[in-house]
Homo-oligomer: A and B are copies of this chain.
Amino acid sequence: LQFEVTILGSNGAIPAFNRHPTSQVVSYNGSNYLIDCGEGTQLQMSKYSVKRGKLDHIFISHLHGDHYFGLIGLLTSFNLNYRTTDLHLYGPHGLDEIMNVHFKYAETKLKYAIVYHELKADEPRIIYENRYFSVETIILKHRLPTTGFLFKEKQPLRRIITEKIAEYKIPQTRIFEIKHGEDFVTEQGITIANTELTREPNLPRSYAYCSDTIYLEEIVPQLKGVDLLYHESTFIDEHADRAAETFHSTARQAATIAKKADVQKLLLGHFSARYEDLSIILDESRRVFANSHLAIEGETFPVDIKKI
């Protein structure tokens, strides 16, 4: 199943060098899940062909503008485009009040419902779940209440060996049970062991989003072994004082979290406007954690299938 992350913006608080503020889309099996929604997100979605009709869930990490000033525009455009499907909005206390004051003065009558889920930044909670994966909050430490988001695939089913279906005349109606590990009894009454019919399932995959936060070792256990980690790296280590002061992280700190949590791959983002050339951020991170990458807007990062 498709599981990938497309970066729509990854700049820090002040837009610079034509880099957009934070927003990204997790695409899973044809559906889109938006994380943060900085100014210009709806334009970035058009630019990078993100389908809005497939977007029913938006997650906002915190109420600094570079993470949500594009939300009101997106919600308004949904309405102008005659959306009728419910939209689930996950965000901190106050987000609904802010949206509603905009709607009030524009005399907007929404044609769709916004289902608001208020997030608490006290302890990790599962805030969304479907048959394939769940989303849980990661409690970050920033100047405002802030949560990250962990997309965690459920245990995938065993993978049926296609040729066996014909060989043993397995009817379509039995496939689901076999994928769940059951044996199959042929028309002749012979029991075929599940291990002959299926291969081991893929390992469940996971994606963790951590922005914005000061260096925070407490999140390491929750991040243990994730396949793809986005961790903010607003500064380089030379500016570690400034990072601490503003409750942000350096590239070296992001890489240290990635290393301690033993993740597969690290994406760096939320770049300060003081850096035009981002290679200093990448280089610093790679010295600690080799599989580091810059979350450049417009790029898509697959969460790769792990096979046993």
CB–CB A80/B13 < 8 A = yes
- In angstroms, Cα B81 to Cα A273, docked, is 11
CB–CB A107/B143 < 8 A = yes
A36 contacts partner chain B, Cβ-Cβ < 8 Å:
no
Number of chain copies forming the complex:
2
Partner pick for A81 among B14, B63, B73, B97, CB 8 A cutoff: B14
Q: A83 CB to closest chain B CB, in angstroms?
A: 12
A141 contacts partner chain B, Cβ-Cβ < 8 Å:
no
- In angstroms, Cα B308 to Cα A189, docked, is 106
Considering only CB atoms, which chain B residue lies closest to A42 in the complex?
B15
- The interface residues of chain B lying within 8 Å CB-to-CB of A42 are 15, 39
CB–CB A107/B39 < 8 A = no
Q: A146 CB to closest chain B CB, in angstroms?
A: 12
- The interface residues of chain B lying within 8 Å CB-to-CB of A63 are 105-106
A72 contacts partner chain B, Cβ-Cβ < 8 Å:
yes
A201 contacts partner chain B, Cβ-Cβ < 8 Å:
no
In the A-B complex, the 5 residue pairs with the closest CB atoms: A94-B105, A39-B73, A63-B105, A40-B40, A65-B76
20 further interface pairs, Cβ-Cβ under 8 Å (given A18-B47, A39-B73, A40-B40): A13-B76, A13-B77, A13-B80, A15-B46, A16-B46, A20-B43, A39-B39, A39-B40, A39-B42, A39-B43, A39-B69, A39-B70, A64-B106, A65-B72, A69-B73, A94-B105, A95-B105, A97-B101, A97-B105, A107-B144
